[in-house]
Structure 1
Amino acid sequence: MRLVAEFTTEPFEVDGAPPAHATEALRAAQEAGLDCEFGPLGTMVRGEQELLLPALPKVLDAAFAGGATQVTLQVRRDA
């Protein structure tokens, strides 16, 4: 089954380059082989359940290691 996960890392920084907590989380998702869409308010990743679910702890670890104070995560079946 294909899943979609959307996550937002905080704190928001609107000026300049994206913060490390956002780019490191994206990098972890990319390294896991997920299809990624990076946006100004969050990141959407898609993949098979067997690929996506084990990648989520790595994404969260990367976000917090990059300085995130909070990560909001939603997971659903891909339409």
Structure 2
Amino acid sequence: MRVVAEFTTEPFYGEGEPPDHARLAWQVVQEAGLKGDFGPLGTEIEGDRDAVLDVLRTVMAVALNAGATRITLQLHTEL
């Protein structure tokens, strides 16, 4: 089963470079080899259910450690 996850880390700081919590979360996704799209208002990743779920735990831990105060997550499946 394929899963698509979209997550947003906060706080936002406006224009300029993405905050560390967003940038480092995206780095985790890239290192895991998952397909994804890093955007200013959220990051979307997709892949095998277990691979996505496994990387999301690391994404959340890294983002929180880098200063995120809120993480919003949406998941949906593609059969």
Shared fold per TM-score greater than 0.5: yes
Q: Deviations over 1:33-76 (max 9, x none)?
A: 21110111000001111211111110001111111000001111
Give 4+ residue runs of structure 1 displaced > 3 Å after superposition. none
Q: What pairs up with 1:40-59 in 2 under 5 angstroms? A: 40-59=40-59
Could you say what secondary structure the match of 1:67 adopts? coil
Alignment gaps of 5+ in structure 2: none
Give the corresponding residue for 1:75. Answer: 75
- Measured in 1, the distance between the counterparts of 2:72 and 2:19 equals 16
| 2:29 alignment partner in structure 1 | 29
Q: TM-score, normalised by structure 2?
A: 0.93
Q: Please, which runs of 5 or more residues in structure 1 have no aligned partner?
A: none
Name the counterpart of 2:65: 65
Identity %: 49
Aligned length: 79
